[in-house]
Amino acid sequence: MGAHLYVHVRAPVLSSCSMSGRFLVLLLIVSIIHLVKGSDSQTLIKFKESLINGDKLTTWIPTKSPCDNNKNNTANWEGLLCTNGSVSGIKLDNKALGGNIDTDMLSELSSLVSISFNNNNLKGAFPDFGMLDGIREILLSNNKFSSEIPANAFKGLKWLEKIDLANNNLIGQIPASLTTLPKLKELMLQGNEFEGGIPNFAPGRLTVANFANNHFRGEIPEGLQHFPASQFSGTELCGPPLGECKKKTTSTVMIIIIAWVVATAVAAMIFAVAILCRRNHQEIPVKILNNGSVVLASSGYFSRQDKGGTSDHNGNKADLSLNLTFLVDDEERFDLADLLKASASVLGSGMFGSSYKTAIAGGKVMVVKRFKQMNNVGKEEFYEHMKRLSRLTHPNIQPIVAFYYNKDEKLLVSNYVDNISLAFHLHRNQSDETQSPNWPTRLKIVKGVARGLQHLYVKLPSLIVPHGHLKSSNVLLTKNYEPLLTDYALVPVTNPEHARDLMMAYKSPEYNQLGRISKRTDIWCLGILILEIMTGKIPVYTLHQSKGNDTEITDFINSVAEQESDIDMFDKAMTGFDKSNEGEMIKLLKIGLSCCEKDSKKRMDIKQVLERIEEVKEKDGPDEDFQSAYSSELDKQSVTGLSDDLNN
């Protein structure tokens, strides 16, 4: 009985202690959280007081927490970025702030990964960022820092991805510790007083870099020679992509004589070229014949058209010096005159370029794409870029057979593909007798596109966006529905303003929000393409040559996300599936949505994307009857009536 009584008496005591203990633990946790939040607040208040004009930060007050502890990561103070209730970023651009940056204080912000003080009046010695071991971005452009940066200033910052120190007054040499940063991708140093040589960075490591308008001299390191010449202008550097490094030559008198001779020769050449250009303007106009076909004829160099609408082969002969440059060794050779004199069908015409289907001698059918907005680089850089593209060999990439370079316009020549573009198959008006691509075919297309895109990433590591214009009208299909990527890697040679207005990469969230594209922008484009393939829907502006808007693409993605597990979301015209493979279809749809993450850093890389896509199974085998019926129907149709929007 005593023992029994002991149990009944002690049990409430144990329960009471347990409850009290839990309350104390809970109270302790709340106190710690409050202490951490208070610590961030106190640190930022001290940092504000250390700045000149810091009193302009009127929302930075101790009575309110810098961040709300909610899932929305809401900041209560202006210029802050919050993650899980803690300060992860400080963005105080254009605030007229002066003084220096006290990194001792900032090191107390345990979650800080990004600081941005662009366009202020900060000055003095360069801050010691070595204690901010988790920092990813340091953006200090357009300030008044004027010191030398210590050689080890960035040592140990293994997460640092972006540095922008443009347009300050920094002196001395580039700190060697920059070359040791494993994740550094963007380095902007233009508009300073740096001197000496540029240290060598590992090839392909930097995706964005600018060294212009400094006192650098010497040869540009091999790991940086892929950047445009403009990124080294205003310096005394030499070597690719600038002129060759030359040895010091003879006397001043000899230099003056040589300079005079060269100037005279150049003047004579300019005069001669001006006369020739007046006689023979080298633009390649398109002439429409009476029978509705077209001829790519040059008014001066190539045969003219008579009033009857046929080629006057007895007229002016082609200037054979204007040959095509071939990129494929085993391709049958033909010259520019063969292309320009042959009649052609218009496949598409838009602001980005025009496409023509033309049959040369012997019956070989080619596609000629004509671009007028491709003047971002000079002739040598253009030739070098085309040579780089010639090394791309992959079953899901359409090779460029040959090209023609002219200052005002360019021609890219490739083999004609019978089965037209993916956009045509997805968006043409379907008749009762034809079928849209079925589920196994669409999965095959997605896998082929992803494989081709990965190859571009691997072979073109120096390009921020190895494709840049990935959309359904730039995916051709063979007779076996194997996809071929076209119009890839054109961003470096396309006029920037034209690229920004029309190319898919510049429709991305990161460009709309930050004004820049990233290594994972093409992943976003792939995600949009997957959603299009699976739903049969697409934002209108991706089919048109126009700027479009961010709201439209966001609405499209959100509409898919809201119904991602609903079978009604899939294209009504798609066949070849039942309940046994609905799960695989939804899996692919979700992969597409994950590629469309608004934050580019949260997107998978191309290797991860391809691995996940390869895991998706058909369940049902390919429908040979469908393939046969679909191909037969296409053979009956003429490709000349394709929509311009679907072919450019």
What are the mean pLDDT values of the chain's consecutive 10-residue runs (648 residues total)?
Answer: 39 45 43 49 90 93 86 85 92 93 88 95 86 93 89 89 95 91 95 92 91 93 91 91 72 52 62 50 41 41 32 38 77 76 74 83 86 87 92 95 90 89 82 74 97 94 90 94 96 89 91 86 96 84 47 70 72 82 91 93 94 88 45 40 39
Question: Are the C-beta atoms of residues 459 and 422 closer than 8 Å to each other?
Answer: no
* Assigned token pair, 591: 């992969």
* Residue 445 to residue 526: CA distance in whole angstroms: 12
Strand 144-145 and strand 171-172: the pairing is unpaired
Domains of the chain: 51-238 (3.80.10.10), 280-416 (3.30.200.20), 419-648 (1.10.510.10)
pLDDT of residue 631: 45
3-state secondary structure of 107: coil
Please report which residue ranges of 336-476 form alpha helices under DSSP H.
336-341, 379-390, 422-427, 439-459
pLDDT of residue 303: 32
User: Is the Cα dihedral 34, 40, 46, 52 positive or negative?
Assistant: negative
Closest residue by Cα to residue 454 from 608, 615, 593? 608
pLDDT of residue 118: 96
In one letter, which amino acid is 338? Answer: D
**Furthest CA-CA distance within the chain:** 127
pLDDT of residue 516: 83
pTM, two decimal places: 0.53
* Residue 322 to residue 648: CA distance in whole angstroms: 27
pLDDT of residue 437: 92
pLDDT of residue 489: 95
Strand 208-210 and strand 186-188: the pairing is parallel
* Phi/psi-derived region of residue 213, left when phi > 0, alpha when psi is between -120 and 50, beta in every other case: left
Q: Can you name the residues that pair with 345 across neighbouring β-strands?
A: 357
User: Is the Cα dihedral 118, 120, 121, 127 positive or negative?
Assistant: negative
Question: Are the C-beta atoms of residues 639 and 347 closer than 8 Å to each other?
Answer: yes
pLDDT of residue 547: 45
* Residue 449 to residue 529: CA distance in whole angstroms: 9
pLDDT of residue 430: 57
* Per-position DSSP letters for 228-243, written without gaps between them: -GGGGTTSEEESTTSP
pLDDT of residue 259: 60
* Residue 186 to residue 193: CA distance in whole angstroms: 19
3-state secondary structure of 368: strand
Measured at the CA of 560, the angle between CA 605 and CA 420, to 5 degrees, comes to 75
pLDDT of residue 418: 83
